[in-house]
Amino acid sequence: MAGGYKVAVVGATGAVGNMMIKVLEERDFPVETLTLLASERSKGKKLVYKGQEIEVQVLAEDSFKPIELALFSAGASVSKKFAPIAAKDSCVVVDNSSAFRMDPETPLVVPEVNPDDVEKHKGIIANPNCSTIQMVVALKPIYDKAGIKRIVVSTYQAVSGTGKRAMEELSAQIRAIINSEEVKNDVYPHQIAFNCLPHIGSFLPNGYTEEEMKMVNETRKILGDPDIQVTATTVRVPVYYGHSEAINVETKTKITVEEVRSLLENAPGVRVVDDPSNFVYPMPLDAEGQDDTLVGRLREDISIPNG
């Protein structure tokens, strides 16, 4: 390591890749060298890190020879091909795609929830789906205290989750509507501006979507509880940044709202924003750019004993 790690960002020119670079700088992560990798179409582009321009290189099988830590965010197909290659070169891979999340040999880690699972890695550490992460961060202290029997979650996810083209499409549609022009959609099957799409990802034979089943399966793996019941509905909303979720939980033993609030106020990665009488509650605008998961509108479920 010496003065820092030799780090690579794969998918550096994408929305998530850009954010990875930004976070490395903001956190002053110990970086000795930073290599930016992307597809052929991004060759020659330059991105700024700590005031210096770094030229993007084309991702290749020999890109990882000098690299110690590789952050992947270029999609599952790229990860499936190149992450094992990087890991063989003694590089630790943190993969943001779905490629290895359910691989029994690959730990699926949320630092605030199951940090010890990192030690089980064999070169690749999987990063969960974004909507799963914020949910398990908020639910872990409740799970530890009272157990969780069932989770019912509905998500309201920003277009940033789809990527740059989706954000550009939302902007273009808003402009078109304001100017009374034809609204065109390419990224999504329907207009997203001033609209909501009641699915994220493809529909599966069971009627759920890929995104919804990710939340089901990933939650069980992260919490190490294959018996926990999870049902999810994921919705794409016309918001640029900040995913929101409405979560209903049935615990195994009784726990009061006051106990839940106290647990959450002391939980890592959680900020309680809960004063409804003064219109204080979590909103995407307040969550944008924040590390913490904002939690609010805490209340007892009047329909079941342990909700």
Any idea what DSSP says for residue 126? E
**CA 124, CA 113: separation in Å to the nearest integer?**
18
Class of domain 5-99 as given by CATH = alpha beta
| 75-94 pLDDT per residue, tens | 999 999 999 999 997 899 99
**CA 168, CA 166: separation in Å to the nearest integer?**
5
What confidence category does residue 1 fall into, taking pLDDT thresholds of 50, 70 and 90?
low
| 109-147 pLDDT per residue, tens | 999 999 999 999 999 999 999 999 999 999 999 999 999
Any idea what DSSP says for residue 276? G
pTM score over 0.95: no
3.40.980.10, 3.30.1440.10, 3.30.360.10, 2.160.10.10: CATH of 132-162+195-295 = 3.30.360.10
The amino acid occupying position 278 is: N
pLDDT of residue 289: 86
**CA 145, CA 51: separation in Å to the nearest integer?**
46
| 201-255 pLDDT per residue, tens | 999 999 999 999 999 999 999 999 999 999 999 999 999 999 999 999 999 999 9
**Active centre residues (catalytic):** 130, 243
Any idea what DSSP says for residue 235? E
Q: Are 243 and 131 in contact (CB under 8 A)?
A: yes
Checking 79-82 for CB contacts under 8 A at 24+ apart, the result is: 79/10, 82/10
Q: CA of 103: how far to CAs of 80, 153, 229, in Å?
A: 11, 24, 20
Q: Domain extents for the chain?
A: 5-99, 132-162+195-295
